[in-house]
A = this chain, B = another copy of it.
């Protein structure tokens, strides 16, 4: 009684490059999205909670989020408001799967740590 073999074309349509957004973009992307959850934010505002990121890297992350239509960058005429980053509807829709992933990680964090600790390289 063997299991049926895996079809060779299992991931032709849903291939890894296709899956890239599943990985929630780059290192900071998910964090940026959550920072924007409460409304538009300025560049310098985002650097506060993400205090380990350099401006270059934050810019990169924001540009990619913009490119993928998750974030909208707005340069206001009124200098008081400056430049603001906000979630697009698409970006907002991504908060849900993101929250599910966060919940999973929070719930199983200890197990992940334990596993890494007990693992000894081959």
Choice from B35, B94, B119, B122 contacting A104 with Cβ under 8 Å = B94
Contact B116 A68 (CB under 8 A): yes
Interface residues of A in 1-54 (CB under 8 A from B): 3-11, 14-16, 18-24, 27-28, 30-31, 35, 38-39, 41, 45-46, 48-52
Jot down 28 A-B pairs with beta carbons below 8 A, ordered by A.
Answer: A3-B39, A3-B41, A4-B38, A5-B45, A6-B48, A7-B48, A7-B49, A8-B49, A11-B49, A11-B50, A14-B106, A15-B52, A16-B27, A18-B105, A19-B24, A19-B27, A22-B101, A22-B102, A23-B24, A23-B30, A63-B122, A66-B119, A68-B116, A69-B111, A90-B115, A93-B104, A97-B101, A101-B101
